[in-house]
Structure 1
Amino acid sequence: MLYPIPSHLSDLPIYKKAMEIIILSRSISTYLNQDLSYLKPDGSEDAHIYFSGDIIQQSTSLAPEIVNAEIERHTDKKYKHIASLERLTTMLYKNCKRLEQSHSNGREYLPILRRELRKFRRLQHTWMMTL
């Protein structure tokens, strides 16, 4: 369900960090796709290309989960959004680690994204205490 985003959310540190992660993951994925989109000599594609799409999808889902948790009135539904946010963060981190094993020049940027995700997790912990 789509709700208007409350104006105070743009001031939340966790929301700002989620937006930074979206931009960073899109930039990294674009860079990786240039290297990973070529077919191998045997005609198969690099399996890592799918993980680059996953990091975009997962990072794009972070901010809406924050918004939904903030505007939800019922505690049980609020915790479902928080749990979803935790799962997204974990999967995003794992996919970054998988992409670091790819044969792309862009993999050197993935530790930057993982470092930002660690910062996001710290913000997430603090933010959850305020809900």
Structure 2
Amino acid sequence: MESSPKNIRLYKKALEILILSKSISKYLVHDLAPLEKNGSENQFIYFTGDIVKDSDSLVPEIIKAENQAFQDDRLKHAISLESLTNKLYKNCERLERSESNGKDFVRLLRKELKKFKRLQHNWMMSL
């Protein structure tokens, strides 16, 4: 079985998203970690971990899809990748509603996700 992806642009964009997600998460955690005035946790802090977890799954899902012998199996992983991308995008939208100085960085991640979605669409057509 192959271990490197066939679509290098998609793969590289997924790696960029992972690096960006990790950086944004580290930045936002400092803003969102303090307790609210009423003593409760900031509801947005969990999304910082979610964006890292989901972006960390992009590359493996690309490789899994490309290494499948049967088209149905490739499409199953491609759909899973699409779902991960949509979750990431949704969590970015949620983080943009947080009271954080890092909202502009989250917008940058959403912009990169839009580029990834276009690459992903073309890649899915070639599976």
How far does the alpha carbon of each residue in 1:39-87 deviate from its partner, in whole angstroms, 9 at most, with x for none? 1122110010001111001101111000000111121111110110010
Give yes or no for the alignment of 1:5 onto 2:3. yes
How far does the alpha carbon of each residue in 1:62-121 deviate from its partner, in whole angstroms, 9 at most, with x for none? 110000001111211111101100100101001000000001111121110000000000
C-alpha contact 1:68 1:81 (8 A) present in aligned 2? yes
> Any unmatched runs of 5+ in structure 1?
none
**Partner of residue 107, structure 1:** 103
Give the SS at the match of 1:64.
Answer: helix
Instruction: Give the Å deviation of 1:5.
Output: 1.8
Q: Letter of the aligned partner of 1:51 in structure 2? A: F
Mapping of 1:36-51 within 5 angstroms? Answer: 36-51=32-47
RMSD: 1.4
TM-score for both structures, normalised by structure 1: 0.92
Instruction: Give the Å deviation of 1:30.
Output: 0.5
Answer with 17-26 or 106-115: which moved more.
Answer: 106-115
Q: Letter of the aligned partner of 1:5 in structure 2? A: S
TM-score for both structures, normalised by structure 2: 0.95
Instruction: Give the Å deviation of 1:129.
Output: 1.6
Q: Letter of the aligned partner of 2:83 in structure 1? A: R
Mapping of 1:22-61 within 5 angstroms? Answer: 22-61=18-57
With over 3 angstroms needed to count, the CA separation of the structure-2 counterparts of 1:85 and 1:49, relative to structure 1, is same
Q: Letter of the aligned partner of 2:3 in structure 1? A: I
Q: Letter of the aligned partner of 1:107 in structure 2? A: K
Give yes or no for the alignment of 1:20 onto 2:16. yes
Q: Distance in 1 between matches of 2:45 and 2:6?
A: 32
Identity among equivalent positions (%) equals 54
Q: Letter of the aligned partner of 1:73 in structure 2? A: A
Q: Letter of the aligned partner of 1:116 in structure 2? A: E
Instruction: Give the Å deviation of 1:36.
Output: 0.4
How far does the alpha carbon of each residue in 1:15-54 deviate from its partner, in whole angstroms, 9 at most, with x for none? 0000000000000010000010111122110010001111
Q: Distance in 2 between matches of 1:22 and 1:63?
A: 9
